[in-house]
């Protein structure tokens, strides 16, 4: 799952009755996350995007153009997010929006089948990928907010982790199915060859079906809410005026919260960039085959999931701030090692360098995301938790173009500086991601540590 699966639109101070955690509603909600792995893991990270940046199939500029197109899609999401979220809140049509965006994401995923190799087809693939990202992120805004309807303050963390875990697990299972069924270096179970990119293209049809099947429980059971009355309609300008007014209010009452929101928005986008471009880098700069990228993806999801659970204990001992700093410093170091030793390191080949330090990068993604949410829960002013978590989600989306832009810009500058073609300078992309992480880390350093006990919630029996 990507860095974009954060389930943060929650209000820790809301009052919900106690009861069983894993209800039918929670399962239906979590299965959507399992199904979303088809777009997160297969389309944008480990399969289709890797196929699309193959310079032999789509030309030497494919990798650079991918970053800029995703940056454009992120910018569109950032512009429409406040309007979209407020519109859904007012109308109460969350179920309708979930159905439309999920079906649209599945349809766009299926249309990727028509992207055959060739430079003339590159723009079709990029357009569909950008459109899919916009549809998926628009649905995720509503999906994240649903957690307030199916959890209580004392179990919201476990419900969130349950969905997050299903997302990681779904990605692993689907990657395995596609690898042995279609993308095997020889011929998969179903006899589909790689001629004309058919094994990848057919995989997109499977991913589309996966989305529909596992999203169905939520889409069939979810219901719209009554519309809100007495609230004014806000356009783009009005929505952003309201957003800035909330930030100004926080700045005057608790600047530490504002500083955390701004710094975390930057480094969280860097975290998203690690997963968004990790597989692309493996293929474009380190010579991974399509099958090797999938194996790497399975390993990356596995270590990210395990590390997220393990670092949760460290969070309770050291505090969220320490976990965030340790993780970001480690990621910056690993990224620089990958860049400077892209030709090999001692007795290690370039591929082994990426295997070792690329997986180490993935180790720290989930813990940083989780610790960020924990930190915010501890510093949120009493009675303002819902607004704070809403701002957390909105500020994160507002800079979602940053990592893709820096990734492609680093490649462009690197190619010019080294005097090589764009495809030969693909490894410079890691510097763009590292820079985003580093800026986020530096911005976060002035943020003060918070008491670990302030976020404590009463236990609930299963």
Q: What is the 3-state secondary structure (H, E, C) of the chain?
A: CCCCCCCCCCCCCCCCCCCCCCCHHHHHHHHHHHHHHHHHHHHHHHCHHHHHCCHHHHCCCHHHHHHHHHHHHHHHHHHHHHHHHHHHHHHCCHHHHHHHHHHHHHHHHHHHHHCCCCHHHHHHHHHHHHHHHHHHHHHHHHHHHHHHHHCCCCCHHHHHHHHHHHHHHHHHHHHHHHHHHHHCCCCCCCCCCCHHHHHHHHHHHHHHHHHHHHHHHHHHHCCCCCCCCCCCCCCHHHHHHHHHHHHHHHHHHCHHHHHHHHHHHHHHHHHHHHHHHHHHHHHHHHCCCHHHHHHHHHHHHHHHHHHHHHHHHHHHHHCHHHHHHHHHHHHHHHHHHHHHCCCCECCECHHHHHHHHHHHHHHCHHHHHHHHHHHHHHHCCCCCHHHHHHHHHHHHHHCCCHHHHHHHHHHHHHHHHHCCCHHHHHHHHHHHHHHHHHHHHHHHCCCCCCCHHHHCCCCCCC
Residue 2: band (very low, low, confident or very high) from pLDDT cuts 50, 70, 90: very low
Checking if the pLDDT of 102 tops 90, the result is yes
Checking if the pLDDT of 182 tops 80, the result is yes
The Cα–Cα gap between 461 and 407 comes to 46
The Cα–Cα gap between 44 and 260 comes to 28
**What share of the chain in percent tops pLDDT 90?**
33
Query: Where is average pLDDT lowest: 162-176, 260-274, 382-396?
Result: 382-396
State the pLDDT at residue 16: 45
The Cα–Cα gap between 225 and 95 comes to 8
pLDDT (average), residues 428-442? 95
Checking if the pLDDT of 368 tops 60, the result is yes
State the pLDDT at residue 415: 92
154 or 232: which leads in pLDDT: 232
pLDDT (average), residues 402-411? 91
The answer to whether 371 and 327 are in contact (CB under 8 A) is yes
State the pLDDT at residue 372: 81
Checking if the pLDDT of 300 tops 50, the result is yes
Residues near 130 by Cβ (< 8 Å), separated by ≥ 6? 69, 70, 72, 73
Checking if the pLDDT of 428 tops 80, the result is yes
Residue 248: band (very low, low, confident or very high) from pLDDT cuts 50, 70, 90: confident
Checking if the pLDDT of 89 tops 50, the result is yes
Residue 186: band (very low, low, confident or very high) from pLDDT cuts 50, 70, 90: low
- pLDDT per position as a tens digit, 10-52: 333 344 445 567 788 889 998 998 999 899 889 988 889 989 9
State the pLDDT at residue 154: 59
Checking if the pLDDT of 405 tops 50, the result is yes
pLDDT (average), residues 313-318? 76
- pLDDT per position as a tens digit, 369-394: 878 877 876 776 665 555 566 677 67
Residue 157: band (very low, low, confident or very high) from pLDDT cuts 50, 70, 90: low
What's CA 245's distance to the chain center, in Å?
28
Mean pLDDT computed over every residue of the chain: 81
Query: Where is average pLDDT lowest: 160-174, 226-240, 376-390?
Result: 376-390
201 or 77: which leads in pLDDT: 201
State the pLDDT at residue 313: 72
pLDDT (average), residues 105-124? 95
Query: Where is average pLDDT lowest: 117-126, 272-281, 373-382?
Result: 373-382
State both tokens at 188.
Answer: 């998969």
Checking if the pLDDT of 453 tops 60, the result is no
State the pLDDT at residue 388: 67
3 or 67: which leads in pLDDT: 67
249 or 263: which leads in pLDDT: 263
Strand (E) or helix (H) holding 84: helix 62-91
The Cα–Cα gap between 138 and 127 comes to 17
Return the number of other C-beta atoms located less than 10 Å from residue 21's C-beta. Answer: 18
pLDDT (average), residues 417-439? 91
State the pLDDT at residue 78: 74
State the pLDDT at residue 179: 87
pLDDT (average), residues 48-76? 87
State the pLDDT at residue 11: 39
**What share of the chain in percent tops pLDDT 70?**
82
């Amino acid at each position: 799952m990507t860095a974009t699966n954060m389930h943060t639109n929650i209000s820790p101070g809301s009052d919900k009755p106690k009861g069983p955690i894993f209800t039918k509603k929670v399962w239906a909600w979590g299965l959507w996350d399992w199904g979303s792995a088809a777009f997160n893991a297969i389309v944008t990270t480990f399969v289709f995007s890797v196929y699309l940046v193959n310079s032999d199939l789509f030309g030497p500029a494919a990798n650079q153009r991918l970053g800029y197109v995703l940056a454009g899609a992120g910018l569109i999401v950032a512009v429409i997010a406040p309007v979209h979220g407020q519109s859904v809140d007012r109308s109460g049509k969350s179920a309708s929006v979930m159905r439309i965006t999920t079906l649209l994401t599945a349809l766009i995923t299926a249309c990727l089948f028509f992207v055959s190799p060739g430079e003339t087809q590159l723009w079709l693939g990029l357009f569909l990928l950008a459109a899919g990202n916009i549809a998926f992120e628009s649905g995720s805004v509503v999906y994240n907010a649903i957690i307030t309807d199916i959890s209580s303050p004392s179990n919201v963390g476990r419900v969130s982790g349950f969905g997050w875990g299903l997302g990681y697990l779904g990605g692993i299972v689907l990657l395995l199915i596609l690898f042995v069924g279609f993308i095997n270096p020889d011929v998969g179970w179903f006899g589909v060859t790689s001629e004309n990119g058919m094994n990848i293209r057919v995989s997109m049809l499977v991913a589309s079906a996966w989305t529909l099947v596992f999203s169905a429980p939520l889409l069939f059971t979810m219901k719209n809410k009554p519309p809100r009355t007495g609230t004014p309609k806000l356009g783009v300008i009005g929505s952003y005026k309201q957003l800035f007014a909330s930030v100004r209010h926080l700045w005057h009452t608790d600047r530490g919260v504002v500083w955390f929101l701004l710094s975390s928005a930057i480094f969280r986008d860097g975290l998203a960039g690690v997963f968004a471009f990790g597989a692309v880098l493996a293929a474009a700069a380190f010579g991974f085959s399509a099958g090797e990228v999938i194996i790497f993806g399975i390993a990356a999801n596995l270590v990210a999931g395990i590390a997220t659970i393990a670092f949760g204990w460290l969070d309770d001992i050291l505090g969220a701030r320490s976990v965030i700093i340790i993780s970001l410093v480690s990621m910056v170091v690993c990224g620089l090692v990958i860049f400077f030793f892209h030709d090999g390191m001692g007795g290690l080949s370039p591929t082994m360098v990426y295997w070792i330090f690329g997986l180490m990068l993935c180790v720290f993604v989930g813990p940083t995301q989780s610790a960020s949410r924990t930190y915010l829960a501890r510093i949120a002013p009493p009675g303002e938790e819902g607004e704070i978590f809403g701002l957390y989600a909105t500020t994160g989306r507002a800079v979602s173009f940053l990592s893709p832009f820096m990734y492609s810009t680093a490649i462009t500058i690197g190619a010019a500086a080294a005097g090589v073609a764009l495809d030969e300078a693909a490894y410079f992309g890691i510097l763009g991601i590292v820079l985003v992480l580093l800026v986020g880390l530096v911005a976060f350093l002035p943020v003060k540590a918070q008491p670990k006990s302030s976020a404590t919630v009463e236990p609930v029996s299963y």
